[in-house]
Amino acid sequence: MPEQTPPRLVLIDGSSYLYRAFHALPPLSNAAGEPTGALFGVVNMLRATLKEQPDCAAFVVDAPGKTFRDDLYPQYKANRPPMPEDLRVQVEPMLQVVEALGLPILRIAGVEADDVIGTLALAAARAGSAVTISTSDKDFAQLVRGFDGGGRIELVNTMSGSRLDNDEAVAAKFGVRAAQIVDLLALMGDAIDNVPGVEKCGPKTAAKWLAEYGSLDGVIAAAAGIKGKVGDNLRAALPRLPLNRELVTIKTDVPLDLPADALKLRARDTQTLRNFYTRYGFNQALRELEGNVAPEPAPGGKGALRATAAGYARAATAPQGAPDAALAAPGDYETVLTRAQLQAWVAKLQAADEFAFDTETDALDAMRAGLVGLSLAVESGRACYIPLAHVYPGAPAQLPMQEVLEALRPLLADPGKRKLGQHGKYDLHVLRRHGVDVAGYADDTMLESFVLNATASRHDLDSLAQRYLGYRTLQFTDVAGKGAKQIGFDQVALEDATRYAAEDADITLRLHRLLAPKLAAEPSLQRVYREIEMPLVPVLARIEANGVLIDAAELRRQSADLGQRMLAAQQQATALAGRTFNLDSPKQVCALLYEELQLPARVKTPGGQPSANEEALEAIAELHELPRVILEYRGLAKLRSTYTDKLPEMVNPATGRVHTSYHQAGAATGRLASSDPNLQNIPIRTEDGRRIRRAFVAPPGRRILACDYSQIELRIMAHLSQDPALLRAFASGADIHRATAAEVFGKAIEDVSGNERRAAKAINFGLMYGMSAFGLAKQLGIARGEAQDYIALYFSRYPGVRDFMDATRQQARERGYVETVFGRRLYLDNIHARNQGLRAGAERAAINAPMQGTAADIIKRAMIDIDAWLAGQRGRTGAAPALMVLQVHDELVFEVDDDFVETLRAEASARMAAAASLRVPLVVDSGVGADWDQAH
């Protein structure tokens, strides 16, 4: 017997979304000036919900008048301010659009919406339904559970995209099981509803108590023994906790007496929706509506497949009676299988100013992936997918790849034809490897989003669609499966592939149309995007494609050597411990050292457990020989597993080189990040570590050139702070740490001791990270008071630095962001957090970001400049005389012809130094050698 899919019921918590959308979205208004922000959010949420095609649904809102909670507790919700006028006027239109979408509205007099939802959810789930409560109110987590017979209740927040579908998910978010949520809320209270909880008891404390004592009753019983201020607060709150629990408990047994069809979806009222969307300027919703109502005929070809969403919804096993309202179409997508279709699209692209493109491949690694298909979009809501290499049994005949690429080449390679994409660097790689060098890559939605707000969300297409369009894209796993059963995209049926791939191009285009005006409205961000990020894309693509040559044999020798020494350390450790244990397991190391050997646990992990990290082992190294041996083993194991074993595996068989991947939207400050492998954390500090750099080599006839900025972040601090003493120190060209020590300790430069220089260096670095006296003391191994004295002394000598830091914090608080010299912004969401730790963290980030971010901007500018200059150079054979192969935050590494070394060295250094004009000189150091180590 095939398993029956349970009927699906969606209950929408209307008020929670209305409030959330109102506060989360900018105060939008339509052409007539009517406020629309909340409506826009709710409409997008509803469209996404209906797209899921539930069997039944309801939009639940509070009815005017009193409810049982008001009787129980007269102050209930007394804190809630009256609904803002801008929001109030959106309520009636909201109900109208809900109505027009065919969603039943439930408003039950005398019963709160929460309790209506709770009662309906429980009843339906008991009867075997899969119930989704769509809400942005976390209190509903108390209802999440599964039932015998297949019924279940889950929570989704369609706006944030989060989902709580079982106890584990609830526990992950709240630290307690769903059944304990009411107890958690009773302890925490709810400021919005004017339900006071235990003072100073937030989610963490409440969860901790519940984990320890099981339930609210358990906490109440144990209250007498809980120490500290928060224990006093708990005891003071005891009398009201039972009432709290009652107030926060969502009722599941209110009499409702609904008609049989109360949850039944009706057909949507297209005319009303059209009027509504037009009036409020919801153009995307309008296009979707029109696209679905009157699909255009297919542009030709006998083999043409049509992939309208309506078609798919009907073809899929849609529940009987599912109304058209559930068929909200994402777009009109065409599978291109004939020459006529291809020609029609080429004509469309030729006529358009710009178009979005996306490639589909059979692998994630851009340097290995094979092209499987291409998608294109020129107008919102309409896109095509051109399958090229789908190979599953029964796959329709597809156009020959070369023919398609030749047809598109004039467009893709035309610098005057603007192309846009999402993370287009990947597609540039794939197309280049299939013979097409894309030019005119003008816009990238990932980078638009990143520059607009680096921390607001992730910058992948799904997150962007969700955040900016309120739209849930089809997931890769939806069409290709997941885990061991996942298939390659070349195995995906063309119908599914088209929905997925064409949607990507379509959504990319829609996102660009939304994001580009936002950028245009912020000239400084627009410049960062146009002058730094976009021009950097092809530069990074070239560096990645160049790759770096690795001496794999050398690394294998090192692995063997490390292995022998690891074995020796392991044997020594076994002897010292008197038994075998896993040296790689922190847990076993802790048990051995702190329990069996009774050594003192002086350092804690961030999780509060005894730590076995380097600092902890150093702290007890004088009490026992074992910690030192474990440290020795660790150092060796790290080098071997992460570097000497791994790097040879990463050599691309086609190129014989290692190709890292640089993430342009990786670090919030604007830095790049590197992965697969990460070539930005190759060891250098220890001799064993540095040996690894000897395996980064140049081929015969070439050398490695490494150019790095000297103290760039400190120079930026001098520039930003304009502190006279610091500016003077850099202008003099002296060793900056030595100069700082001389200034702080009141000595001549030549009289500074090694220890004084070390202290000054620690202060200089610490300052850039927003360090405290505590941190400096730990770093230098001195008393906290002494560290405080150093810092005070430093600030007295460099008052401009203190003023700059104060001003930076102040700006962060006032504007919510800080910026780099080039205008890149970093928003600091936690700068006003009530939690002191979070707020302090945001302040440190505020101090650090302008310096780290400006340094990132500068080296990016240098990379663009040097790349352009290199493009015009020719070596003796006519090939490029040098390749940029690595970027490590303040360093650029090149592979260069022997006879071009000095030319490049002079040119690259000069261009790096000229990448910004600061109040201090930018100094670039460089080195040359047969390998990366020698070049330092």
Nearest approach, Cβ of residue 358 and DNA (Å): 22
Residue from 161, 295, 303, 683 that binds DNA (CB under 7 A)?
Answer: 683
Question: Exposed e or buried b for every residue in 627-641, given b needs 16+ CB within 10 A?
Answer: bbbbbbbbbbbebbe
Task: Rule CB under 7 A: choose which of 96, 270, 680, 710 binds DNA.
Answer: 680
- Give the interface segment with DNA, choosing from 221-229, 563-571, 731-739, 885-893 (CB under 7 A): 885-893
Please report whether residue 15 would count as binding DNA according to CB under 7 A: no
Residue 587 engages DNA in binding (rule: CB under 7 A): yes
Closer Cβ to DNA, 105 or 590, answer by number: 590
Rounded Cα gap, residues 698 and 312, in angstroms: 55
533 binds DNA (CB under 7 A): no
Of 119 and 764, nearer to DNA (C-beta) is 764
Tokens matching residue 526? 């627009």
Contact between 774 and DNA per CB under 7 A: yes
The 3-state DSSP class for residue 764 equals helix
Residue 557 Cβ vs DNA, minimum distance, rounded to whole Å: 19
| Nearer residue to DNA within complex by CB, 396 or 481 | 481
What is the rounded distance in angstroms from the CA atom of residue 299 to the CA atom of residue 355?
Answer: 19
Q: Which class for 687: exposed (0-12), middle (13-18), buried (19 or more C-beta within 10 A)?
A: exposed
Q: Is the CB of 330 or the CB of 850 nearer to DNA?
A: 850
- H helices of 189-282, in order, are 203-213, 216-222, 228-237, 241-248, 270-280
Site map (CB under 7 A) of DNA, residues 146-175, x = contact: ----------------------x---x---
Residues 886-925 that bind DNA (CB under 7 A): 888-891
Which of these ranges, 157-165, 273-281, 676-684, 909-917, lies near DNA under the rule CB under 7 A?
A: 676-684
Window 170 to 229, contacts with DNA (CB under 7 A): 172
Q: How far is the CB of 842 from DNA (least distance, A)?
A: 9
Binding flag, residue 557, DNA (CB under 7 A): no
x/- letters, 335..364, toward DNA (CB under 7 A): ------------------------------
Q: Is 62 in the site for DNA (CB under 7 A)?
A: no
CA 672/CA 208 separation, integer angstroms: 39
781 sits near DNA (criterion: CB under 7 A): no
Half-sphere exposure of 124 (CA within 13 A, CB side): 27
Other CB atoms within a 10 A radius of the CB of residue 372 amount to: 25
- Residue 314 vs 604, nearer CB to DNA: 604
Residues whose CB falls within 8 Å of the CB of residue 87, separated by 6 or more in sequence, listed in order: 18, 19, 22, 35, 38
Burial class from Cβ neighbours inside 10 Å (0-12, 13-18, 19+) for residue 72 reads: exposed
Q: How far is CA 669 from CA 65, 807, 815, in A?
A: 51, 19, 17
Q: Which of 389, 395, 514, 668 binds DNA (CB under 7 A)?
A: 668
Q: Write down the least CB distance from residue 732 to DNA, Å.
A: 23
The encoded tokens of residue 128 equal 């075997």
Residues within window 786-845 making contact with DNA, judged by CB under 7 A: 837, 840-841, 844-845
663 binds DNA (CB under 7 A): yes
Q: Which is nearer to DNA, 125 or 849 (CB)?
A: 849
Instruction: Give the residue with the Cβ less far from DNA, 218 or 775.
Output: 775
Q: Identity (one letter) of the amino acid at 668?
A: A
What is the distance between the alpha carbons of residues 450 and 405, in angstroms, rounded to a whole number?
A: 31
Candidates 275-283, 464-472, 496-504, 669-677; binding stretch for DNA (CB under 7 A): 669-677
The distance of closest approach from Cβ of residue 828 to DNA in the complex, given in angstroms and rounded to an integer, is: 9
Between the two ends of the chain, the Cα-to-Cα distance in Å is 69
Binding of DNA at residue 678 (CB under 7 A)?
Answer: yes
Tokens of residue 786, six digits: 């002494």
Residue from 20, 659, 671, 860 binding DNA (CB under 7 A): 671
- Of 434-442, 547-555, 580-588, 814-822, the window that binds DNA (rule: CB under 7 A) is 580-588
Query: For DNA, which residue of 424, 547, 677, 800 counts as binding (CB under 7 A)?
Result: 677
CA 785 – CA 773 distance, rounded (Å)? 8
Find the shortest distance in angstroms from Cβ 751 to DNA: 25
Q: Decide whether 603 or 734 has the Cβ nearer to DNA.
A: 603
Residue number with CB closer to DNA (210 or 849): 849
Q: How many residues does the chain have?
A: 936
- Give the range of 147-155, 197-205, 742-750, 768-776 binding DNA by CB under 7 A: 768-776
Cα-based torsion angle of the residue sequence 428, 433, 439, 442 in order, rounded to the nearest 10 degrees = 0
Return the closest-CA partner of residue 449 out of 440, 439, 436, 459: 459
Which residues inside 452-511 make contact with DNA, applying CB under 7 A?
A: 482-484
Smallest distance from DNA to CB 612, Å: 3
Give dist(CA 388, CA 404) in Å, integer: 8
- The distance of closest approach from Cβ of residue 267 to DNA in the complex, given in angstroms and rounded to an integer, is 39
Token pair in block for residue 21: 């959308």
Within positions 590 to 619, which residues make up the interface with DNA, using CB under 7 A? 590, 605-609, 611-616
Choosing from 212, 584, 595, 898, the residue that interacts with DNA (CB under 7 A) is 584
Query: Who's near 804: CB < 8 A, 6+ residues apart?
Result: 717, 720, 721, 722, 723
Does position 689 bind DNA by CB under 7 A?
Answer: yes
Spatial separation of the C-alpha atoms in residues 464 and 473, rounded to whole Å: 10
Q: How many helices (H) and strands (E) does the chain have?
A: 38, 26
Is residue 562 close enough to count as binding DNA by CB under 7 A?
Answer: no
The CB-of-936 to DNA minimum distance in angstroms stands at: 8
Strand partners, 703: 896
| Amino acid at the residue 705 | L
- For residue 808, the minimal CB distance to DNA (Å) is 13
Q: Cα 674 vs. chain centroid, distance in angstroms?
A: 15
**Interactions with DNA, residue window 842-881 (CB under 7 A):** 844-845, 848-849, 852
Using CA atoms, how far residue 241 sits from 175, 182, 233, 246, 576, in Å, is: 20, 11, 12, 9, 55
Query: Under 8 Å CB-to-CB from 788, ≥6 apart: which residues?
Result: 773
User: Residue 417 or 634: which CB sits closer to DNA?
Assistant: 634
Residue numbers 618-647 binding DNA by CB under 7 A: 631, 634-635, 637-638, 641-642, 646
Q: Which of 328, 378, 515, 771 binds DNA (CB under 7 A)?
A: 771
